[in-house]
């Protein structure tokens, strides 16, 4: 496989980033984020994993030596319980707002930058095929604006054996590609684009790609956990998916539980005053609660709608949606005491 084309952070400028994203669908910026900031987050994550028995006890947690007996992945209840602890870390969220990331993302999306509020942490056990994320396009799951960008950020050096990402160059030029309707996986044989590229991605490097760029993880064949973040960014005046602001998959997670141990108020509900435009809109969501094809999706839409009501202040929602939400949910437009929700 060909190697990534990359650039050192000191040479990055707006024209380069835009033209690489335009022509290749990705840009790999080397030595972009300061090591101390990455290490601070990694330390907090590995402490959780060590306390949970995911790491071998006879080695330093920062080595991330995986305990094979604890191996689990995203769909396992054991994973979800530990992941929630990681997700609740204040540093996990502030990392997505790192000034360097904001700066480069503004080059791509302009001044109206929306940092998606739910970054994803990847905690990938080694030598487990079922945990490898296969080829897909983020837009299928993320929804909203196609011009949404992902920054993939390993929290330690990630040579080939730790399973860094691979990218299909130029694949973002072909719209949404044929994918398995249940899993969103695109067969590598049929994927449209130029050629697959890959290579080591190290702590501090940022791999940034477009929402339609086909990409895939490579298998982690090492003996260590691979720990990385993926954070998403878009223009807030473009449509965004309301599911990205709430917790549609679970009944007991909320922003209040996420924020319970945070020291600073700065990033809580940071999107609160942004004039977001939802797609599906509140009206569409209200219809989907009754008309979506499957019971699973009807329940999901219902959760999104009710969590928006509970968790988001009405001034977040665009004019049209406010009227619709307040009449349907019988809420006053300016609810006293709602500012902190």
Ligand X SMILES: O=C(O)CCC(=O)C(=O)O
Considering only residues 138 through 167, tell me which ones interact with ligand X, judged by CB under 6 A.
138, 150, 152
228 is a site residue for ligand X (CB under 6 A): yes
Write each residue from 230 to 269 as x if it is in contact with ligand X (CB under 6 A), else as -, in one continuous string: x---------------------------------------
- Least distance CB 207 / ligand X (angstroms): 8
- Least distance CB 110 / ligand X (angstroms): 22
177 is a site residue for ligand X (CB under 6 A): no
- Least distance CB 205 / ligand X (angstroms): 14
Nearer to ligand X, 212 or 312 (CB): 212
* Per-residue tokens: 160: 């080939």
Paired strand residues for 28: 6, 207
152 in Cβ contact with 32 (< 8 Å): no
Considering only residues 202 through 221, tell me which ones interact with ligand X, judged by CB under 6 A.
215, 217
Q: What is the sign, positive or negative, of the torsion defined by CA atoms of 141, 209, 23, 161?
A: negative
Cα distance between residue 59 and residue 57, in whole Å = 6
321 is a site residue for ligand X (CB under 6 A): no
172 is a site residue for ligand X (CB under 6 A): no
The backbone region for 269, taken as left when phi is positive above 0, alpha when psi lies in -120 to 50, beta otherwise, is left
Closest to 336 in 3D by CA, of 314, 307, 304: 314
191 is a site residue for ligand X (CB under 6 A): no
Nearer to ligand X, 230 or 321 (CB): 230
- Least distance CB 122 / ligand X (angstroms): 4
Cα distance between residue 167 and residue 211, in whole Å = 12
133 is a site residue for ligand X (CB under 6 A): yes
* Per-residue tokens: 120: 């994803």
Nearer to ligand X, 167 or 246 (CB): 167
- Least distance CB 223 / ligand X (angstroms): 18
Which residue has 């990402």 as its token pair?
165
Beta strands in 47-173 (DSSP E): 113-115, 120-124, 149-154, 165-168
The site for ligand X, by CB under 6 A, has a size of 10
Nearer to ligand X, 149 or 301 (CB): 149
326 is a site residue for ligand X (CB under 6 A): no
8 phi/psi in degrees, rounded to 5: -75, 145
Give the DSSP per-residue string, 193-236: SS-EEE--B-TT-EEEEETT--EEEPP--SSB-EEEEEEEEEET
Cα distance between residue 118 and residue 101, in whole Å = 15
145 in Cβ contact with 235 (< 8 Å): yes
108 is a site residue for ligand X (CB under 6 A): no
- Least distance CB 338 / ligand X (angstroms): 34
113 in Cβ contact with 105 (< 8 Å): yes
- Least distance CB 86 / ligand X (angstroms): 14
Nearer to ligand X, 167 or 288 (CB): 167
- Least distance CB 143 / ligand X (angstroms): 14
Site residues for ligand X per CB under 6 A: 122, 124, 133, 138, 150, 152, 215, 217, 228, 230
């Amino acid at each position: 496989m060909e190697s990534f084309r990359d650039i050192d952070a000191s040479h990055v400028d707006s024209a380069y980033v835009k033209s690489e994203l335009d022509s290749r669908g990705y840009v790999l910026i080397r030595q972009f984020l300061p090591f101390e900031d990455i290490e601070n987050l990694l330390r907090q994550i590995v402490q959780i994993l060590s306390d949970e028995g995911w790491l071998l006890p006879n080695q330093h947690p920062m080595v991330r030596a995986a305990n094979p007996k604890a191996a689990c992945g995203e769909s396992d209840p054991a994973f979800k319980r530990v992941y929630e602890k990681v997700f609740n870390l204040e540093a996990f969220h502030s990392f997505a707002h790192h000034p360097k990331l904001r700066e480069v993302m503004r080059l791509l999306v302009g001044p109206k930058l929306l940092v998606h509020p739910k970054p994803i942490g990847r905690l990938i056990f080694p030598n487990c095929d079922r945990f490898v994320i296969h080829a897909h396009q983020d837009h299928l799951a993320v929804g909203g604006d196609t011009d949404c960008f992902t920054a993939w950020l390993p929290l330690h050096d990630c040579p080939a054996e730790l399973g860094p990402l691979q990218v299909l160059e130029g694949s973002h030029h072909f719209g949404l590609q044929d994918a398995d309707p249940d899993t969103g996986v695109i067969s590598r044989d049929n994927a449209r684009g130029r050629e697959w590229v890959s290579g080591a991605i190290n702590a501090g490097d940022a791999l940034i790609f477009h929402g339609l760029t086909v990409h895939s993880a490579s298998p982690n064949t090492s003996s260590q956990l691979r720990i990385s973040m993926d954070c998403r960014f878009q223009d807030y005046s473009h449509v965004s998916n309301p599911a990205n602001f709430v917790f549609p998959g679970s009944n007991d997670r909320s922003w209040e539980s996420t924020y319970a141990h945070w020291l600073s108020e700065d990033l809580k509900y940071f999107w609160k005053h942004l004039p977001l435009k939802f797609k599906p809109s509140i009206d569409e969501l209200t219809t989907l609660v009754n008309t979506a094809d499957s019971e699973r999706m009807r329940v999901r839409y219902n959760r999104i709608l009710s969590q928006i009501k509970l968790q988001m202040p009405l001034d977040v929602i665009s004019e049209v949606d406010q009227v619709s939400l307040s009449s349907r949910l019988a809420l006053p437009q300016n609810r006293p005491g709602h500012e902190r929700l």
